[in-house]
Chain A
């Protein structure tokens, strides 16, 4: 599925300083029953965000109007657990285009990259600084520059570079997806398949 190109993103950020945020928290399994990819943002962090009677939990960050932006900043080991791409869809559909953490679970990171959400892994020190900066000023602006592979706290100028492989970077910059690439290799794949032992 095509997605928006990603280049330079300047935005305030929503802080979620919790470790091991698993995909069952990002979107509980009972909300995975759709047969189309829409509406998942409504149930992002459902059980942290709403009481059982569907009233908002006021203390949860997504219900606090002073925090907003296209960047979600999470604690270490973000996205562990299930392979459900719905978790990445929920993040995207809610309006985030970038998730920052000091460590990501593998499948979640891959899922994000496949749908146009940029996972940015920073050092624990910078993560801590970002949380502190947002705590001091909820409107703290971050700049995520994909061509340069940098993330900067604009007020202090503090920045780090982040890793991403050239192939995925190119895809995100251009809004390409993997299927177009793979479909172009079809003949090569068929030859390969004919010679596999199983």
Chain B
């Protein structure tokens, strides 16, 4: 029986196996941000031990940071304190720190790939569940808790039982207006929010092969939303092309050596998975969520499913709809919205801004909509300007903010007010996720753009078609 991609990378990183226990698992690269690290650094201090490999550790500030006036001191005292703590801890331990204002600053899962920190066949962790993003490169990447952050800082290892394996195959071609975000929301709606718990997922098939690296990042990013610890895609020429020449990627002879390893990273034809699923690309349409977990998504033309069509969880379903103030069976299209959020580690990259701009170009922001457009990093911000996208946005009545996690998690100043509806390109629609009482509709950048210019939930295909015909 042949090995899976996941087996190959996992097994190459096991320092020691413990009988009836976890593996001692080696971590190649550790990403650190301000929220989940201070208590870990405090732990090192209390034990009086150093960071074992500062050169394998990279720190940035993203969760707490304001997305306007970043040149001014951070007003929120607790946020400022947490940012200061990371700066101090990084300096003390010799860890590169890309804080507010640094040219490499941005959301941790955006800057990892941008700077060549994210590599095929690597193991990557961060105290953040969306670390699964980096699986797009054929890395094993997953989120960890603060106790584990401390373990990695101290020993570059964690204690981790090997998860089960799942392969999700999608063949065929995606229809017009269907994006990687829709593919992910479709899968989660089929599996539910816990359907992949205990598994590590490999995404395979034509849809993922044909997807850009940024699209693959969006899909892998959302793996955690169906409970999977992570998701990965076998590296190919597209992957190598993306990585080559980036600052922290191997160079020269090291590159050749790495390529020899990377070219072995695929699931053997006779490899078996603990679970294997197949979907058809042509069944997927632009998606939107109607409830309070990412599994509660529907095709935009389908409307809200009836309680009896769902398996179990009727109480949860009713509680969700009550929170959203929606009724079963209702159409999603035409529902008025108040906010649009484009950004986050899920959809805060240049392709997401290109997609958004493709719809708002020549149109105007709806008067009833407040729009927060937040690049995932300064590099993304620079590209938005260089490609003329900023001009399109300005002409349509939109402003661009500065990089950060922004309205994804209601930790900084960007919070959606209670009772308001936000079409968001981020990753979670939990109760209060974007602010106490806020109501989130997760969707792609295209659906977000269509909502931004019409002021309501709108099928982006209609607008795209008008643009094509014009």
Contacts and interface: CB of A to CB of B under 8 A. Distances in A.
Interface of A: 1, 18-20, 22, 24-25, 28-30, 32-37, 47, 52, 75-77, 80-86, 88, 103-107, 110-111, 114-115, 165-168, 177-179, 181-183, 185-186, 188-189, 192-193, 196-198
B15 interface: yes
Nearest to B418: A52
Contact of B193 (A77, A85, A115): A77
Given A18-B316, A77-B197, A80-B193, 16 more contacts: A1-B43, A24-B430, A24-B431, A32-B411, A33-B82, A35-B82, A81-B129, A84-B36, A115-B147, A178-B148, A182-B151, A188-B16, A192-B15, A196-B28, A198-B250, A198-B258
Interface string B334-347: 00000000000000
A168 B21 contact: yes
A25 B430 contact: yes
Nearest to B120: A198
Contacts of B287: none
Contacts of A52: 418, 436-437
A166 B63 contact: no
Contact of A1 (B78, B147, B198): B147
Contacts of A37: 39, 42
Contacts of A84: 35-36, 127, 145
Contacts of A22: 293, 428, 430
Interface of B: 12-13, 15-16, 18-22, 24, 26, 28-29, 35-36, 38-39, 42-43, 46-47, 49, 52-53, 63-64, 76, 78-79, 81-82, 85, 119, 121-122, 127-129, 131, 143-148, 150-151, 154-159, 161, 163, 193-194, 197-198, 224, 227, 229, 250, 257-258, 261, 293, 313, 315-316, 319, 409-411, 418, 428, 430-433, 436-437
Contacts of B18: 167
Q: Which 8 A-B pairs have the closest CB atoms?
A: A167-B21, A85-B145, A83-B143, A33-B78, A111-B145, A35-B38, A114-B147, A166-B20
B73 to A, nearest CB: 16
Contacts of A179: 43, 47, 147, 150-151, 154-155
23 contacts: A24-B430, A24-B433, A25-B431, A28-B410, A30-B411, A32-B411, A33-B81, A35-B82, A47-B431, A76-B313, A77-B193, A77-B227, A85-B127, A86-B146, A103-B197, A105-B194, A107-B229, A178-B158, A178-B159, A179-B150, A183-B154, A188-B16, A196-B13
B159 A181 contact: yes
A106 B229 contact: yes
A106 B227 CA distance: 7
A189 B158 CA distance: 11
Nearest to B128: A83
A167 B24 CA distance: 12
Given A22-B293, A111-B147, A182-B24, A47 B197 contact: no
Contacts of A114: 145, 147-148
B316 A19 contact: yes
Contacts of B229: 106-107
A103 B257 contact: no
A178 B147 contact: yes
B interface: dominant SS = loop
B36 A85 contact: yes
A34 B85 CA distance: 10
A47 B257 CA distance: 52
A134 B49 CA distance: 47
A149 to B, nearest CB: 13
B21 A105 contact: no
A66 B16 CA distance: 48
B155 A186 contact: yes
Nearest to A87: B145
Contacts of B39: 35-37, 85
B26 A47 contact: no
A106 B201 CA distance: 14
A29 B33 CA distance: 14
Nearest to A33: B78
A189 B154 CA distance: 11
B161 to A, nearest CB: 7
A13 B72 CA distance: 49
Contacts of A35: 38-39, 42, 81-82, 85
A165 B411 contact: no
Contacts of B76: 33
B320 to A, nearest CB: 9
B410 A29 contact: yes
Contacts of A85: 36, 39, 127, 145-147
A84 to B, nearest CB: 7
